[in-house]
Amino acid sequence: MKTNIVLIGFMGAGKSLVANILSHKYKMRCLSTDETVEKKAGRKVSEIFQKDGEARFRQMEKAAVKEISESQNVIVDCGGGIVLDPDNVKALKKKGILFYLQASPEVVLKRLKDHKNRPLLQVDNPLERIKELMKERKKLYEQADFTIFTDQQTIEQTALAVVALWKPKAANQKSDSSTK
């Protein structure tokens, strides 16, 4: 049964904030791929990017996804690049329902403009970079079970939207498994 709520989407889409709200509301543990990597490495994501490069970060991220995907009844807060590796999506789908939190490039820039902890956006023209990366990843994010548009929503509204989609799906699964 798919008991995990998995949040995917671009940086700044609100995944971590929504994950925290849901975690408190439903008393479900929240597991973040970035935090898992940081704990294992003993370093921040930005430092890993800087010292070891993106490829090494992606390896560590993949190991984190593999571990987290074994859990049940958790909320998974995924780093924005998780979808780049098809194995990650496959692993997360085994026990989870995937929600793609979508945001436009302009909104992402506005939400992240004072944050210096996104190594991929430390460039002269972050808006262009955001647009490029989003274009590359659009189809990959769309592998989610549901898409939620976040531009016009507060974090609370986005969390409610996740719940509204998740509850009937979770209930369906329960009745399916009880009739089998």
DSSP-assigned states of every residue in 127-173? HHHHHHHHHHHHHHHTTSSEEEE-TT--HHHHHHHHHHHHHHHHHHH
For position 120 contacting ligand S3P by CB under 6 A, the verdict is yes
Residue 90 C-beta: closest distance to ligand S3P, Å: 18
Q: How far apart are the C-alpha atoms of 176 and 148, rounded to whole Å?
A: 26
Return the amino acid letter for 150: T
For position 80 contacting ligand S3P by CB under 6 A, the verdict is yes
Closer by beta carbon to ligand S3P, 16 or else 153: 16
For position 79 contacting ligand S3P by CB under 6 A, the verdict is yes
Determine which residue in the list 81, 96, 134, 159 makes contact with ligand S3P, applying CB under 6 A.
81
Instruction: Give the residue among 107, 113, 105 at the shortest CA–CA distance from 129.
Output: 105
For position 118 contacting ligand S3P by CB under 6 A, the verdict is yes
For position 38 contacting ligand S3P by CB under 6 A, the verdict is no
Return the amino acid letter for 48: I
Binding site for ligand S3P (CB under 6 A): 11, 15-16, 34, 45, 79-81, 118-120
